[in-house]
Amino acid sequence: MSKDCTGFTLIELLIAVAIIGLLAGVAYPGYASHMKKVYRAEIAGLLTEQAQYLERYYARNGTFIDATGVIAGNDRYRITPALNPQDFVLLATPAIDSVMAGDPCAAFSLSSTGARSNPGAAPDMTGKACWGQ
């Protein structure tokens, strides 16, 4: 009397789970690295957008001091504006509880002259690596 059993054995399922685990272990670090680049590009774009807003405000009012409407940032970065009558500096610092906390690019700074910098960045992090230039 012979039974025709179909399906997967426990060993086959364990091998499939192990292979999926290995693939996920290799893929996740690359995905996380790519997402950090995306988040850096996002904050660079947001800072540029806010700088353009401030320049339009200055063109209408002749000062940066009373500018309202600068957004506070996003889930990953907090934007702090330093507004003076004739110039400004926008500083985006990583949110403490975000995935960007501890990022080697650290903070992003954009001034009214267009100067970009990364205060507190790791020595090997250049403008190209952080700002995507």
Give the model confidence (pLDDT) of 70-83 as tens digits: 888 888 999 999 99
pTM for this one? 0.79
Sheet of 88-94, strands arranged across? 77-83, 88-94, 108-111, 116-117
Q: What is the DSSP letter of 92?
A: E
pLDDT tens string, the chain, 133 residues long: the values are 556 777 788 998 999 999 999 998 988 888 888 999 999 999 999 999 999 999 999 999 999 988 887 888 888 999 999 999 999 999 999 999 888 988 899 999 999 999 999 998 888 887 778 887 6
The 3-state DSSP class for residue 64 equals coil
99-118 pLDDT per residue, tens: 898 889 999 999 999 999 99
Structure tokens at 23: 């693939």
Evaluate whether 72 touches 55 at the Cβ level (below 8 Å). no
